[in-house]
Structure 1
């Protein structure tokens, strides 16, 4: 890790675009310790077993059928950065397209901001199911092994148990995207609408609101099926992880706020409460009706009034 090399990479940002994405990757990697990936045979088998058990458990608990990627990737932080630079570039494409020419000082600032964002995420992401929004490839499932080990040690919890909990959560996301082939395109169009409005200098609160509702449903359903499928108690893991985030330093708290981490936690809680109510009435399998087609997604009002969704969706 070298902050000097990271600063040099940002300072050398070039091109005509608003962001030099090559420099973003170089700077983020230079400022981030890659972490170790010397897995034992038992550890590699542990990841494979956790994912397979999560798939079987969630299929049984949720009553849905879905596939997983052929290969589950266990990554370093640098691997995660490399895998996500292109995704961020595609996502912010509408913004860059609106800028015909960018002064070098602004390009440097934009490049530095994105490098900080990617580096921060690379140090904090534990696992990720990625339907590769805005791309043409298949879905991906990967785990950032150095982060999983570091957080498990910091929380003083068993590494294998913590890894298994993360696997169940990410496979739960695979279940909902597998149950709803339309979901990736739906999210993509919502993201493009929100980013396009920002590119034109306006803030479409309706577009952002629709995106937030969809993400609340995505996170809430994953919490529901993970809760019903996970073969161990995990309240202590959630409580310790939340407490650790509250104890983060001021810079970390600021970055988390800017990146919407507080909103993500609210999505978990609000979405989980909605789907718990649906499951109480119709069972976990009945809650999967939300993924039958886009019209079955709850509205913002229905998230806080699940009985209204139940009355609307047979």
Structure 2
């Protein structure tokens, strides 16, 4: 391979070009700062070039396209890596009996929900998926959900480079971002592939990942969820089917909800900044003659960078967690009402579900692996208590009327005092905001979400209350 890029890098960084080619440990350019991050800059430039060549020559297993969504992430590669991860774990196909059992459970549970909420059915099709089918059918939503976050990482790989690196890298900066896109795509694929081994249906993250109306369960996920509960599999399947169908109802008849949730993820991403020390630490001790070692270090299960907490990020995360908690709390209350008297072990199943979500469900681990974002409803119990109080005070129609507009929804601070929210909304406080009376009668305008649901990632006061 020609040595011109190395020579050019040496001339840009060292002025006269003296010392070029002495980029081994202890033999760096004497005009470079002694504390240059990542070690010797020429060694780093050579390493980046070798790694890019290696990645170009070795596509992901089964890769058949670029799949670049515009953010620099190769999502086709991510999907193929996810499918490869699933196949390594073993993935039996779904038989006719399993498919029929899932379809019957979804249809029956959807009928039960008619008695628990005035929102009509949102289920258009019922399906049973293998893990590989879950990857295929949900990948487009993962792309949209992850793009705001992962594109920030790729951009930061160029913007956050130290000035010394930027001055000597020149054309290598674009290659650095391209390499970052491949690495992030690789991590995303691995994380989503691992997630496929844990999910139950299409709505595990509080969002219909396969699109609205397409209700689905993974028989292997249902079986895994029921392990150790000593509850008949049919009962477990019916309870989980009710949760799947309930969330589809919510999204089908609350048109602003999907875009609102995705907007909160984008808002969180916009406030992200990164600590480069983790990347520097990984690259500092790697031998430039071993590009495979570089790939292994950067494509490990850990995040590429460590996001730093900023006030904007904390506020966005609080609003996101509040929205997820309200969605999850509503589903819990509606499902508990729908299955009451029909499933003998409904209480145990509800508690198992709450524990799974509160102590770290699959969505939390996936996003934590990628960029540190946890899609976790930390205040699930408080949200469920608020929806229960609203049901008792106003009935299911008055409760579900809150979903008519995002400004009517409880804020993070309302979760601290559900009874106060209920009584305040029914006290005839329409003078607070005359415009809101156009949407509903007897409901108080709570104002925009204030982001005070707890400091940092949910706040110390919210975590313990949502525990098992």
Q: TM-score, normalised by structure 2?
A: 0.55
Equivalent residue, structure 2, for 1:85: 139
2:235 equivalent to 1:161? yes
User: Structure 1 residues 64, 111: closer, same or farther in 2, change over 3 A?
Assistant: closer
Distance in structure 2 (CA, Å) of the matches to 1:192 and 1:245: 23
The aligned residue for residue 102 of structure 2 is: 47
Q: Cα gap change, 1:87/1:229 in structure 2, threshold over 3 Å: closer, same or farther?
A: same
Using the TM superposition, give the Cα deviation of residue 20 of structure 1 relative to its aligned residue in structure 2, in angstroms.
2.2
Q: 1:102 to 1:308 in 2, by over 3 A?
A: farther
* 1:239-254 aligned within 5 A: 239=351
Write the distance in 1 (CA, Å) between the matches of 2:134 and 2:402. Answer: 31
Contact 1:18 1:102 in 2 (8 A): no
- Are residue 305 (structure 1) and residue 417 (structure 2) matched? yes
Does structure 2 conserve the Cα–Cα contact (< 8 Å) formed by 1:18 and 1:110? no
In structure 2, do the counterparts of structure 1 residues 154 and 112 end up closer, same or farther at CA, with 3 Å as the change threshold? farther
Of 225, 241, 250 in structure 1, the residue corresponding to residue 334 of structure 2 is: 225
The yes-or-no answer on 1:207 pairing with 2:316 is yes
Q: Deviations over 1:278-304 (max 9, x none)?
A: 222222332112212111110111112
Partners in 2 of 1:91 and 1:304 — Cα distance? Answer: 29
**Is 1:31 matched with 2:141?**
no
**60-69 vs 215-224, which moves further:** 60-69
**Which structure has greater helix proportion?**
1
CA drift at 1:56: 1.9
Report the CA distance shift for 1:81/1:167 in structure 2 as closer, same or farther (over 3 A).
Answer: same
Q: Secondary structure of 2:376's partner?
A: helix
Q: Distance in 2 between matches of 1:167 and 1:197?
A: 37
Q: CA deviation at 1:35?
A: 2.2
Structure 1: give runs of 5+ residues left out of the alignment: 1-6
Q: Corresponding residue for 1:3?
A: none
Match of 2:278 in 1: none
Deviations 1:109-167 (CA, angstroms, capped at 9, x unpaired): 3233212320221111101248668x9x6542221222212333454432211111110
In the other structure, the counterpart of 2:438 is: none
Q: Which runs of 5+ in 2 are unaligned?
A: 1-57, 159-173, 275-306, 426-442, 445-468
Structure showing greater relative contact order (alpha-carbon pairs closer than 8 Å, 6 or more residues apart)? 1
Among 383, 402, 414, which residue is 1:290 paired with?
A: 402
Distance 1:262 1:197 in 2: 15
Q: How does 1:237-276 map to 2 (within 5 A)?
A: 237-239=349-351, 255=365, 258=368, 264=376, 266-276=378-388
Bigger Rg over Cα: 2
Q: Residue 240 of structure 1: CA displacement?
A: 5.2
Deviation (angstroms), 1:241:
6.2
**CA–CA distance in 2 between the matches of 1:195 and 1:247?**
24
Distance of aligned partners of 1:195 and 1:9 in 2 relative to their CA distance in 1, 3 Å threshold: same
Residues 1:290 and 1:242: Cα distance change in structure 2 (over 3 Å): closer
Report the CA distance between 1:223 and its aligned residue.
Answer: 0.3
Map residues 111-122 of structure 1 onto 2, 5 A cutoff: 111-122=185-196
Shift of 1:239: 4.6
**Corresponding residue of 2:60:** 9
Q: For the structure 1 residues 19 and 138, does the alpha-carbon distance in structure 2 shift closer, same or farther, using more than 3 Å as the test?
A: same
CA contact (8 A) 1:131 1:140 kept: no
Aligned length: 299
Per-residue CA deviations over 1:199-248 (Å, capped at 9, x if unaligned) read 89865322222222111111100000000001213222345567789999
Q: CA RMSD in A?
A: 3.7
State the Cα distance separating 1:65 from its structure 2 match: 2.0
